[in-house]
Structures are given as structure tokens and as C-alpha cells.
Amino acid sequence: MKKIEAIIQPFKLEEVKEALKAIGIDGMTITEVRGHGRQKGHKETYRGQEYNVDLLPKVKVELVVTDGRFEEVTGAIANAARTGKIGDGKIFVYEVAEAIRIRNDDRGEAAL
Amino acid sequence: MLVSAALVLMMTGPGLALFYGGLVRRKNVLSTMMHSFILMAVVTVVWAVVGYSLAFGGSGPFLGDLHFAFLNNVGSAPNPDYAATIPQQTFMIYQLMFAIITPALISGAFAERMKFSAMLLFTVLWLLLVYFPMAHMVWGKGGLLNAFSGGKVPTFDFAGGTVVHITSGVSALVCALYLGKRVGYPTVAMKPHSLVLSFIGACLLWVGWFGFNAGSALAASSLATSAFVATHFGAAAAALGWMAAEWMHNGKPSALGAISGCVAGLVAITPASGFVQPFPALLIGACAGVACYFMVVAVKAKFGYDDSLDAFGVHGAGGTLGAILTGIFATSLVNDGLKDAKGRVLPLGLVDGQGGQVLNQAIGCAVAWGLAIVGTLIILKICDMLIGVRVAKEEEMEGLDLSQHGEEGYIFEG
């Protein structure tokens, strides 16, 4: 099993969700996060007081898939989330040791 | 008059409470709104006991007497010294609303770092030492600065440019300097946590200000209409003035700038509102918008004081500017209340050929500044010695909502 962690632009969330739904992925967890990579922030001014905001709002999408599907899933996410500009985000993939469904104690891929 | 009184109370809560509440950080929203709200209660009690009497009893030059203490002799009969056509109780409750908002305005300078207990003591002493004397001098019978009651230095302050805005704005500056900067200012980001709240608050202030200024005619008269018009024009021009200044100076017209400008204009037009024609009102507003923008952006940065919510930059500066401009634009075409012994209407400001009035206005401002500086310093010293004015550093970092009140403004769980 692999865990996919995608950090994307907030306004791309709907498209990513649609893309995942289209390939039959029906579970994920979403978190609103802030961060930055190479993207520069922006300037905000309140009554002359200037602030450089470099940690920008992003959305983190987390989901766990079977080993066979992670290329397909990451590809779908990347295609849906891409604008081609700096700030589109990143995808990380991790090995998952175990998965447990709390309701009935299903283990491994059966729990996904 | 009763509607006007209610409108003025609406300026403090929710108007000012929302305006200031939105400008602070999330951890201080309740404490900041509480400053305004609790003053609605505290000032009322002080007013009933001695406040009204010290402001409007007797006919001394500096302070009233105790003739109306505990609101004795304040009933349905009018007090012809002030308003011959309304019950004195109406006049009393209307004036109370001014005494409430004035110390609430100061809270903009010490927001996010003053002890709640110290704030309460400060306010009570401040009313006694600064507000009541100033109100009596400008509006009270026989007051030193009261143009309509034989004051030695006749100044025009229709609805509280000196009494409300200069005293509160200058006291705010003294508080900001005395308390020192907030922890982390100006390097740590201290962004307004909700400009939406501030927006609603500013709009309520704009509407409430009609009660403040038009109501100060103390009758449903043509003078009230004229003050209403001047107030509205001043606010509009100042919102545009601040916005234009910011747009040219900083590249973008911010929402915070537009609403700050509107408040600055309302402040500046306050002393002038019952004395000036519509076009001078526009001019006064525009000047206030631009001037207060540069006070807040350039002057504050240059001197480095931490007036958290710009109570001085807007009220102190706007009030002083408005008071001086009143001396220029006041005209008997609008207000024929000033008459000589034979009942002839007297000229008022520079546009009426009375250039000396500008000097009188400046003296009025100087008195207000002096009283506010000295009074506030003394009171802060007293509060500091008795209970300490500033919260501990850890309490400030934690936020005043938790450390002073034991609660939070926003709870997102459950």
C-alpha cells in the first residue's frame, strides 16, 4: 500500500476530487494548510504597515491506495492540479505498513 | 432626540466594538469589544451619580457643580440653559451617550495590552479629570470656551471635536506612549483579524453619527438637517480622500483605508457640522481623509509609537484639523445662534470675516490637548501604582481574551 500526499492550490481541489472520482477513488482526507516552496509570497498593507506573506494557503490531500494504482492516481492528481505556474504544489508518496478499518477490524488492502 | 441618543449609543456598541474588534488579532477580539461594551455600563453609573452634574450643573468656567448629582432636579421640565424645548432628562440621556463613546475611543490605543481592571479605573478617573471639565468648558453654562454662553475664549464645537475627539485622541497617544509597544511590534505581523467586522462597525458608525451631529442641534430643526448634510458630505469626501491618497502612495485602494477615511471625515466634521455649508463640509472631509492617512502611515512610522488602532491618528489629528477648519468655514448663514445684546446675528468664522475665530479655535484645541496630556498622565501614574496598567508578557502573548476574561472569541470545534 502507498500513501499519497498531495499539496495543491486550494482552487484546484474540486478538479482533483472530480479526477479521483472518475478513476474510482472514493476516500481521501483534506486539510487546509499553509506553506511555500519556490513560490514567492505577496505583500499586504494595513494602514501603511506592510507584511510580506510568504506562507500561502494550500490544500493537502491525503489518501492511501494499493501498490498497483499509485502511478495512475498520482497522475490523475497532477493532471487535475496543474496550471503550469510556480505554486502548483507537490506530491509525495510513502510506503504504508498497515491499514485497519476501525468498524470491523479489516486489515491491509481490504481496509482501503 | 431620543432616537438620536439611541443612534449615538449604537456608535459605541456595536459600532465601535465591531470596528475595533475586527482590527485586533483574533486572541484579543473579546477584550477589545468588551472595552466598548463595559463602558456603556460604567460611564452610565458615573454619569448618574456625578457626571451629568459636573458637566452641566452650575455655571463655573471650568467645571460644573453638584446641583444635579444623583440626577436630582433632572426631570421632565426642560433646562432652558441648554435646550428649552425638550425635557432635561432627554438632554441628560443624550449627553450621556457622548460620555460613553469618548473613553471607548481611547481604547484603540491601549488595545491588546492593558489590564481590564486598570482600564476600568482609568476610565472612571479620566471622566472625572478630563471629560467632565472639558464638556463643561465647551458646552456648559458659563464655560470658559463656550461661545454661546459668554465664554472668555469663544470657540465653536458643535458636536464634540474638542470635547470628544481631541481629548480621546490625544489621551490615546499618551496611553500608547506610556504603555509602550505591544510585544513584537512592529516586526511581528499584527494583521486585523477580521476586516469584515470592522467594515460593519464603520458603516454603523457612519449611520450613528447622524445622531451624534444632527442630534446636537437639540431640536428637529433646519440646523439639524444642515448638520446631517454636512456630516454625510464630510464622511463621503474623507473616504474618497483617504482612498485616493493610499492609491497614489501605496498603489492599491484598500477597504480598510476607505472605512478609516470615512471615520476620519466624521471626526473632522463633528465640530463643524452645525456651522458649515455643504461644500465646505466636502472640503473638510477631503482634507481629513488625506491628512489622517499620512498621520497613520507616515507620522506614526516615523515616531514609532504603537497606537494599536490609530485612535490618535484618526481622532486626535482629525479632531484638531476639524476644530481649526471650523474656525475658517463657520458661517452665520448656517447657524444664527450667536447674537449680540441687541439680538443681531453675529458673524462666526473666517468666511464671515471673523479671522480671529481661527485663533480662538486653536486656543480651544490647545486647552483640550493640555488637559488630555496632563490628565491622562496623572491618571496612568495612579493606575500604574495601584494595580499596574499593563498585562504580563505571557498574558499578552496568550491573548487578553484568555488571560483577562477566561474565554475565546471563536471556537471551531464541537
**Residue A30: all three cell numbers together:** 483534506
CA distance B337 to B152: 17
CA distance B56 to B46: 14
Contact list, A48 vs chain B (CB under 8 Å):
250, 296-298, 300-301
Coil/strand/helix, residue B333: coil
Distance from CA of A69 to the nearest CA of B (A): 35
ipTM given for this complex:
0.82
User: Is the CB of A51 less than 8 angstroms away from the CB of B252?
Assistant: no
Q: What integer pLDDT is reported at residue B414 of this predicted model?
A: 65
Sheet holding A29-35, edge to edge: A29-35, A56-65, A2-8, A89-95
CA distance A90 to A33: 13
Q: Is residue B414 part of a domain?
A: no
Contact list, B25 vs chain A (CB under 8 Å):
none
Partnered with residue B345 across adjacent β-strands are B339
Of B329, B337, B332, B335, nearest to B355 by C-alpha is B329
Termini Cα distance of chain B: 46
Q: Name the residue range of residue B56's domain.
A: 2-405
Distance from CA of B170 to the nearest CA of A (A): 19
In chain A, which residue's Cα lies nearest the Cα of B252?
A: A45
In chain B, which residue's Cα lies nearest the Cα of A53?
A: B189
How many residue pairs bridge chain A and chain B with CB atoms within 8 Å of each other?
24
Q: What is the DSSP string of B226-255?
A: HHHHHHHHHHHHHHHHHHHHHHHHHSS--H
**Residue B71: all three cell numbers together:** 440626577
Interface test with B, best of A34, A43, A47 (most B CBs within 10 A): A47
User: Is the CB of A48 less than 8 angstroms away from the CB of B192?
Assistant: no
Q: Is residue B246 part of a domain?
A: yes
Window B:303-332, CB contacts with A under 8 Å = 310
Angle at B402 between CA B399 and CA B407, to 5 degrees: 135
pTM (2 d.p.) = 0.90
pLDDT tens, per residue, chain B with 414 residues: 999 999 999 999 999 999 999 999 999 999 999 999 999 999 999 999 999 999 999 899 999 999 999 999 999 999 999 999 999 999 999 999 999 999 999 999 999 999 999 999 999 999 999 999 999 999 999 999 999 887 899 999 999 999 999 999 999 999 999 999 999 998 888 999 999 999 999 999 999 999 999 999 999 999 999 999 999 999 999 999 999 999 999 999 999 999 999 999 999 999 999 999 999 999 999 999 999 999 999 999 889 899 999 999 999 999 999 999 999 999 999 999 898 888 889 999 999 999 999 999 999 999 999 999 999 999 999 999 999 999 999 999 999 999 999 999 999 876
Interface test with A, best of B188, B191, B302 (most A CBs within 10 A): B191
Q: Name the residue range of residue A97's domain.
A: 2-111
In chain A, which residue's Cα lies nearest the Cα of B307?
A: A47
CA distance B403 to B406: 6
Q: What is the CA radius of gyration of chain A?
A: 17
Q: What is the DSSP string of B14-78?
A: IIIHHHHHHHS-GGGHHHHHHHHHHHHHHHHHHIIIIIHHHHHSS--SS---STTGGGTT-SSS-
Q: Is residue B355 part of a domain?
A: yes
- What CATH number corresponds to the domain at position A11? 3.30.70.120
Do A41 and A54 meet the contact criterion of CB atoms below 8 Å apart?
A: yes
Nearest to A46 among B256, B298, B301 (CB): B256
Q: Is residue B39 part of a domain?
A: yes
**Number of domains chain B contains:** 1
Residue partners of B222: CB distance under 8 A and separation at least 6: none
Q: What region, left, alpha or beta, does residue B13 occupy, with left being phi > 0 and alpha being psi -120 to 50 degrees?
A: beta
Interface test with A, best of B254, B302, B412 (most A CBs within 10 A): B254
Of B216, B235, B237, B234, nearest to B225 by C-alpha is B216
CA distance B260 to B195: 11
Q: Is residue B411 part of a domain?
A: no
Distance from CA of B296 to the nearest CA of A (A): 7
User: Is the CB of B190 less than 8 angstroms away from the CB of A49?
Assistant: yes
Q: Is residue B413 part of a domain?
A: no
Coil/strand/helix, residue A5: strand
Q: What integer pLDDT is reported at residue B189 of this predicted model?
A: 85
Task: Report which secondary-structure segment, H or E, holds A71.
Answer: helix A70-81
Q: Is residue B412 part of a domain?
A: no
A104-109 average pLDDT score: 94
Q: What integer pLDDT is reported at residue A49 of this predicted model?
A: 87
Q: Does B348 touch chain A (CB under 8 A)?
A: no
CA distance B262 to B285: 8
User: Is the CB of A47 less than 8 angstroms away from the CB of B310?
Assistant: yes
- What CATH number corresponds to the domain at position B14? 1.10.3430.10
Interface test with A, best of B290, B295, B297, B308 (most A CBs within 10 A): B297
CA distance B54 to B64: 4
Q: Does B300 touch chain A (CB under 8 A)?
A: yes
Of B211, B214, B268, B212, nearest to B236 by C-alpha is B268
B311-326: pLDDT as tens digits: 999 999 999 999 999 9
Of B206, B35, B214, B216, nearest to B108 by C-alpha is B35
A32-61 average pLDDT score: 88
Distance from CA of A51 to the nearest CA of B (A): 6
User: Is the CB of B192 less than 8 angstroms away from the CB of A46?
Assistant: yes
Distance from CA of A2 to the nearest CA of B (A): 31
Contact list, B22 vs chain A (CB under 8 Å):
none
User: Is the CB of B300 less than 8 angstroms away from the CB of A48?
Assistant: yes
**Residue B165: all three cell numbers together:** 475627539
**Number of domains chain A contains:** 1
Q: How many CB atoms lie within 10 A of CB A62?
A: 16
Q: What integer pLDDT is reported at residue A54 of this predicted model?
A: 86
Q: Is residue B249 part of a domain?
A: yes
Q: What integer pLDDT is reported at residue A48 of this predicted model?
A: 86
A50-70: pLDDT as tens digits: 888 888 999 999 999 999 999
User: Is the CB of A48 less than 8 angstroms away from the CB of B191?
Assistant: no
